[in-house]
Amino acid sequence: MPFSGVSGKFLVTDKERTPTASVAFEAAVTEATEMASLLGRSFPLRLLVHAGVAPEVLDRCFETGIFVEEPGGRARFARKDSRRKIAGGLSWPVRRRYHERIAEALHATRGDRGDAAAHYAAAQNFPAARRAWIGIAREACEARRYAEAVDAFLKALEIWPADAEVVERRQALREGARCAENQGAHDIARRLWHECYNDAVGRHDLDAAIEACRHLADLARRCGDPATTRDHLKTAIELANRRGDAEGIARSRYVLAAFLTDRIRLHAALKEIEAAESAAARCGDRGLHSEILGFRGLILAMLGRASEAREQVDASLEIALENNHVEAVAVAYRRLANLREYAADYPGECDAQIRVITFCRRKELAAEVHTCLSCLSYAFFRTGQWKRALRTAREVLEAPDSDPALHATALLVRGLIATFRGERRRADRMTQEALARVRRENLVDLEFFALWARAVLAEADGRVAEASDLFSGIRLLWEETDDLHDVVPALLSAGSFHADQGQGDRLGECVDIMNRVASRNVTAETRAARQAVEGEAARLKGDLPRAVSLLRDAVANYEAVGVPVEQVLVRHRLSLALWAAGDDDEALRLHRGARAIAEGLGMRLLLERLEKARPAAGAAPESGAGGLTGRQRDVLRLMADGLTNKEIADRLSLSTRTVEMHVARTLERLHCRTRAQAVHKAAELGVD
């Protein structure tokens, strides 16, 4: 059929052509078909016209049956094998010229830039191809289509000699590396940053080399390679020292201190941050100096040195305010909130984080808002404000620019709440994903909580061996750190689990860790946890008076801290100890109190545990005579046989102190003052 959609010309017949013109016309037809063979199965007719093919030539291609029209101003070869045969028969020079013409036509018509770049590259016009690929990459990167951007950057770099347009090439390397990081293509990012580093070292550009080292360190951290992370950060410090750049030294040591802090290597982190502070004081960057002082305060708080920590953060805030450095002010306020957490003042932390968020929103500091929200979601979880915790965590997860560590925190908070609410499938999925993320980000403080949730789930589902391994993993992880705070909730659960399983050795390890933690970080929370695990150990040994005393103190301390999960757990454990000791009235009162807290928050997982214990805690004592329990009757029978407390203890496999308590309770219930009176009254009441 005639092609007239582009030029509007009429078909020129063979009769109107001279012999010479006819030969030239047939050559043009051949050229059109050859060029079309390089365009793929289907091609736009307009592109061929812009590449120099006359409309009447296209008419001939249709008339002779070479091309078949397709919708949208497109065409294809009538025979499927024609395109392949024609393209395969083209000589290299002819093919190169055609690719160049096609590329120019695409460029002129604002056609697909990827196609234009590919044709420029096929024509060996590499500079034009690179420009096209870089344009595509930057546009995709701006739109956050990182996979597309990385692909375009790599195509440009593949045809980019190291000695051609070197400044532009370095920029493309850095941009491509950053896009690869955002995409999560760590291997590609690492390769590109290594090239950046080698290039920078080769031309003695220490600033660029330091930048590359920091990115390589971050990639190694995300890939779970702490040794390589530390090596890259130390290299950055060495380069900064070589350059004599106080600011570079301060920033590099600050980054290393932050990495060590995430891994809870606090003594090493303190050494690095002190060196960073010294360098920051020399460089004159008051905002940086303020942030480093505040971070030093955070490390000191994590080490249990609360008063020193407050001095550092106050100094940080003072410098930031004096210099009107808004971001540093926000960071200092956040550090003050962090100090509340490490002092186990979770309600105070909630209030402080809310104030910081309000300040940051007013100053449009989005990154700081997200950081504070992630911390606030955790504080809400600890204080039992679970609806607010979930809303806050969701806001972090939905923010597209949040740091991966903040996403991991928010996901973990949601997983912890799902765990204690008994939403088993959701909890399993969330805590498993959170554990993978925190390990990828080397966030050891959060790893304690992820393992805790996983262990609690396993215990609730009766997977005893798995729970035991997870709790053991928590203790082993602690041994690799300087932690004095984050392991505490997990150790509380581990203590009760090992006591129930009769695992005295493992329970002893929990007691040892809590003693070491509480001796170096004195807070109501660490005191409570130490008292609770020591109470479990006493109960396992049969020393019920000591167990009751310790657990009662733990309940009081946890009430002061205001953490409902722990309050339920410890009240439950105290009720069991009281029941075993024969004080069923107080046991029942504590059981009901624990249940009320659990019901208020929908803690189905803990309610299940309380329900299983309910008959023991809520039922009336065995036998009605004198209101004595079965154990008290056992003791009374042996008293009647004339056995001493020690002999009774040996006979019943109890501690002497436990027997003394049973004797005292028996005398009290029978309203007697002496053992002889109790034996006589029991006989009157018919107690066997």
DSSP 28-45: HHHHHHHHHTTS-SEEEH
Cα 585 → chain centroid: 45
pLDDT > 80? residue 614: no
Long-range (24+ apart) CB contacts under 8 A made by 381-388 are 381/413, 381/416, 381/417, 382/346, 382/563, 382/565, 383/346, 383/347, 383/350, 383/562, 383/563, 383/564, 384/562, 384/563, 384/564, 384/565, 384/600, 384/601, 385/350, 386/417, 386/421, 386/601, 386/602
> What's the mean pLDDT in 152-166?
93
DSSP 560-599: HHT-HHHHHHHHHHHHHHHHHHT-HHHHHHHHHHHHHHHH
Weakest-pLDDT range from 117-126, 267-276, 482-491, 630-639: 630-639
Residue 2, pLDDT score: 40
Residue 31, pLDDT score: 93
Task: Please name the residues in contact with 62: beta carbons below 8 A apart, sequence gap of 6 or more.
Answer: 1, 2, 3, 68, 69, 75
Altogether, the residues listed in the chain come to a count of 688
pLDDT > 90? residue 277: yes
pLDDT > 60? residue 622: no
Weakest-pLDDT range from 227-236, 242-251, 473-482, 619-628: 619-628
Q: How does residue 655 score in pLDDT terms, banded at 50, 70 and 90?
A: confident
Residue 21, pLDDT score: 60
Residue 610, pLDDT score: 85
Q: Phi first, then psi: give them for residue 189, nearest 5 degrees.
A: -60, -45
Closest alpha carbon to 312 in 323, 301, 302: 301
Residue 632, pLDDT score: 79
pLDDT digits (tens, 9 = 90+) for 187-226: 999 999 999 999 999 999 998 999 999 999 989 888 878 8
Choosing among 3.40.190, 1.10.3470, 1.10.10, 3.30.450, the CATH entry for 14-118 is 1.10.10
Half-sphere exposure of 634 (CA within 13 A, CB side): 16
**What percentage of the chain has pLDDT greater than the value 70?**
94
User: Between the CA of residue 566 and those of 538, 561, 570, what are the distances in Å?
Assistant: 19, 10, 6
Helix (H, G, I), strand (E, B) or coil at 67: strand
Comparing 14-118 with 484-619, is the CATH topology the same? no
Helix (H, G, I), strand (E, B) or coil at 631: helix
pLDDT digits (tens, 9 = 90+) for 90-117: 999 999 999 999 999 998 888 788 999 9
pLDDT digits (tens, 9 = 90+) for 8-26: 333 444 445 555 668 888 8
CA dist., res. 301 & res. 522, Å (int): 11
Weakest-pLDDT range from 46-50, 407-411, 644-648: 644-648
Whether the Cβ atoms of residue 45 and residue 58 lie closer than 8 Å to each other: yes
Task: Please name the residues in contact with 300: beta carbons below 8 A apart, sequence gap of 6 or more.
Answer: 270, 306, 308, 309, 312
Residue 122, pLDDT score: 93
Q: Across the chain, what does the average pLDDT equal?
A: 90
pLDDT digits (tens, 9 = 90+) for 284-332: 899 999 999 999 999 999 999 999 999 999 999 999 999 999 999 999 9
Architecture of domain 484-619: Alpha Horseshoe (1.25)
Residue 635, pLDDT score: 84
Q: How many CB atoms lie within 10 A of CB 600?
A: 11
- CATH classification code of 628-685: 1.10.10.10
Q: Are strands 67-70 and 42-44 parallel, antiparallel or unpaired?
A: unpaired
> What's the mean pLDDT in 586-602?
92
Residue 13, pLDDT score: 47
pLDDT digits (tens, 9 = 90+) for 173-195: 999 999 999 998 999 999 999 99
pLDDT digits (tens, 9 = 90+) for 510-559: 999 999 999 999 999 999 999 999 999 999 998 999 999 999 999 999 99
Domain ranges within the chain, ordered by starting residue: 14-118, 484-619, 628-685
